[in-house]
Amino acid sequence: TQLVLQNADREIMKMGGIYHPPTRELALDALLDSIPLKLFTPFLSDYLFAINGLGEANLQVRGAVPDLSLRGKIFFRDANVGIRYTGTSYFLPDTLLLEGDKLKLSNFRIFDEKGKNLLLNGEIKHQSFRQFNYKLTLNMNDFLLFDNAASVNRRPSFLLASRHLFTRIRLR
């Protein structure tokens, strides 16, 4: 079965695959081209705000529901997203690699509201997008890591302040 979503005469999403109900096995391939990231707001609004920009992806989903494996690449184009827990917005101009039970970040750049960058390297392991295990190196210079005094943050926090960091951090 195949699903195609068009905008005027251009395909912006093409998905196809097979679901086998007795074994709950799914094999799905998806190509997304210039999808507005705002479409994901209803699913991410507890964590993110001001979701803008475009995304492109080449994804493969395989396995038995609910233990699915997701592989592929997600490309962010002019993407901007605010994170509720940090209270600040970030610009994402890079590519995220999905390899089954991990998200791989290789020189993944994130820019803060003033154009200062954070460079991420490493991986985030997970079990069906739960129970995350981080192995990351963060390099930053005057990067706005959090501004949870901002009015958009509705989450309780251990600290209310704005903090710029000049450092290299390893999370293991």
Amino acid at 24: R
Stated pTM of the model = 0.75
**pLDDT tens digits for 108-147?**
999 998 899 989 999 989 887 778 888 988 888 888 877 7
Cα–Cα distances in angstroms (integers) from residue 97 to residues 94, 105, 119, 139, in the given order: 10, 7, 15, 19
* Strand boundaries in 37-149, DSSP class E: 48-64, 67-83, 88-92, 95-100, 102-111, 117-127, 130-147
Of 155, 123, 117, the closest CA to residue 136 belongs to 123
Instruction: Report how far residue 157's alpha carbon sits from residue 147's, in angstroms, rounded to the nearest whole number.
Output: 11
65 half-sphere exposure, CB direction, 13 A CA radius: 11
Task: End-to-end CA distance of the chain: give it in Å, rounded.
Answer: 42
Q: Are 48 and 21 in contact (CB under 8 A)?
A: no
Band of residue 158 on the pLDDT scale cut at 50, 70, 90: very low
**pLDDT tens digits for 48-97?**
899 999 999 999 999 998 888 899 999 999 999 998 878 889 999 999 99
The percentage of residues in the chain with a pLDDT greater than 90, rounded to a whole number, is 44
Alpha-carbon dihedral angle through residues 43, 80, 54, 59, given to the nearest 10 degrees? -60
